[in-house]
Amino acid sequence: MIRVYRIVRQPYSNTPLDGEGSYRFGGRWSSPGTRVAYAAGHLSLAMIEYFVHIEVSDPPKDLVVVAADIPDDVSRVVLTAQALPSNWRQVPAPPGLALIGDSFAAERKSAILVLPSALVPSESNWLVNPLHPEFAEIQVHPAEPFHYDSRFFT
């Protein structure tokens, strides 16, 4: 079993893996209209992944961290950096990367897509497909309050 983490604002903590954010806004690995939830293989990576999207002059005060346990037998596809286009870490993300997550979600062959983090390539982000039948096997833990150390903002 692996535990993954996601930092969200408190109002979204009841359904942290529903993919609503990616559905509405897209992301590096998915286009708007594709429902996947982005999670990280380590809490520290989840912190970094969220932090790069914070408006430093007005950080959210209602953050929570949600952990989820994914059983080993839940289906997954793992893509390494070597399998990705050479520009996969570029900012903003090359549009073609979203097609990877879009195809993963549409095909529904696996519940999880494991990809390297563009911020820390030796660590992984886990895209969770909430529409896959095995999604029900993922155990989401109650949200816990989360606050960044004030030194992040100086």
Rg of the chain on CA atoms, in Å: 15
> Tell me, what amino acid is at 154?
T
DSSP readout, 13-32? Answer: TTSTTS-HHHHHH-BTTB-T
pTM of the model: 0.93
Delineate the domains of the chain, giving CATH numbers in brackets: 2-153 (3.90.175)
Tell me the average pLDDT of the chain.
95
pLDDT at 150: 83
- Which of 90, 93, 92, 113 minimizes the C-alpha distance to 36? 113
Centre a 10 Å sphere on the Cβ of residue 93 and count the other Cβ atoms it contains: 16
Q: How many helices (H) and strands (E) does the chain have?
A: 3, 8
Mean pLDDT of 74-94: 95
pLDDT tens digits, one per residue of 104-135 = 999 999 999 999 999 999 999 999 999 999 99
Please give the helix or strand (H or E) that residue 66 lies within, else none.
Answer: strand 63-70
pLDDT score for 42: 97
Contact call for residues 70 and 140 (beta carbons, < 8 A): no
pLDDT of the residue at 59: 85
Please say whether the beta carbons of 39 and 46 come within 8 A. Answer: yes
Nearest CA among 148, 21, 144, 138 for reference residue 68: 138
Distances (CA, A) of 11 to 7, 8, 64, 79, 112: 12, 8, 9, 32, 25
Tens digit of pLDDT for each residue in 57-77? 888 999 999 999 999 999 999
CA distance 16 to 6: 8
The pLDDT of residue 154 is 78
**pLDDT at 2 > cutoff 90:** yes
